[in-house]
Amino acid sequence: MDGGSKDATAQILQRYAPELHFWISEKDAGQYDAINRGFTKATGDVLCWLNADDMLLPKSLFVVGEIFAQLPQVEWLSTLQPGSFDANGYLARIAHLPGFSKAAFLDGLYLPTTAKKGYWLQQESTFWRRSLWEKIGQQIPSYQLAGDFALWCKFYEHAQLYGVQYPLAGFRMIEGQRSEDITLYMQEASAALSQLRKGSRWAPAQTPAILYGSLSQIPLLKDWLRTK
C-alpha cells in the first residue's frame, strides 16, 4: 500500500507484481488509512502488518504459524525479544521484556515515555487471529501516529496478550522518521489508554500487587517453545 510516493517505489512494486497478492500506489488519508485498506485485501487467518522500513527476523513466520496452529487459546501474541536495526539494515540490538500483563498495560507501563521503568509492545512483532480482528470491527483506530497502541487497547478488551521467547522482527532506526514525534504519539496513546481504562473500570487501587520487575502472572509460551 504505497501512498503515491515520488521515489521509485511504484516501479519496484510493478517489477514484483506477479509475486504480490495486491499492490496499489495512490494518495491516501495517511498511514493507518492505507493499512486498513490493505487489510480489506487480506485473506489469511493470521494478520499483522510491516512498515516499509522494518523487517521480520529469520523463521519468525514459521514460529508464529505453528503457535496459532497448535494453541487455539492464543488470540494475539508478540515477542519478548524485540529487535532493532540500524539505518543500513544491520541488527543492532535485541531487547528483553519480562512479559505482558493487562493490568500493567492499564497502569501505563507500555507507554513509550516509560522506557526507563517500563516496556514497549513492538508493532512489527505482533500478530493476531482474524477472529479477534473481527471482534474489534476490522479497523485500526484513526490516529495519526499511535494507531498501533490504540489497536492494542482494542485487543485487550477481548483477549490477553501472549509473549513469545523468540525474536520475531525489528524496528529500523532512521533519522527523520515519523515515529520521532513522541509528543503527538503520547497524546494519542494516552487518549486510547484512557478509553480502555474507562471501559475496564480501572483504578490504581485495583492493581496493588503488580510487581513490575517480574510481572509473575504472565501467559508465556517459553516452555512450549523450548520443546521445539
b/e map of 24-54 (b: 16 or more CB within 10 Å)? eeeebeebbebbbeebeebeeebbbbebeeb
Q: Provide the whole-model pTM.
A: 0.85
Residues linked to residue 46 through DSSP beta bridges, in sequence order: 129
**Does CATH number 3.40.640.10 belong to domain 44-226?**
no
Per-residue pLDDT, 116: 59
- Which residue do the cell numbers 509492545 mark? 121
pLDDT tens per residue across span 169-216? 999 887 665 666 688 989 999 999 999 999 999 976 554 444 444 433
Residues in Cβ contact with 191 at an 8 Å cutoff, skipping those fewer than 6 apart: none
Of the candidates 106, 53, 104, 116, the residue with the CA atom closest to the CA atom of residue 219 = 104
Which residues, given as ranges, of the chain have pLDDT below 50?
207-218, 227-228
Domain ranges of the chain: 1-43, 44-226
> What is the per-residue pLDDT for 119?
80
The β-bridge relationship of strands 76-79 and 127-129 is antiparallel
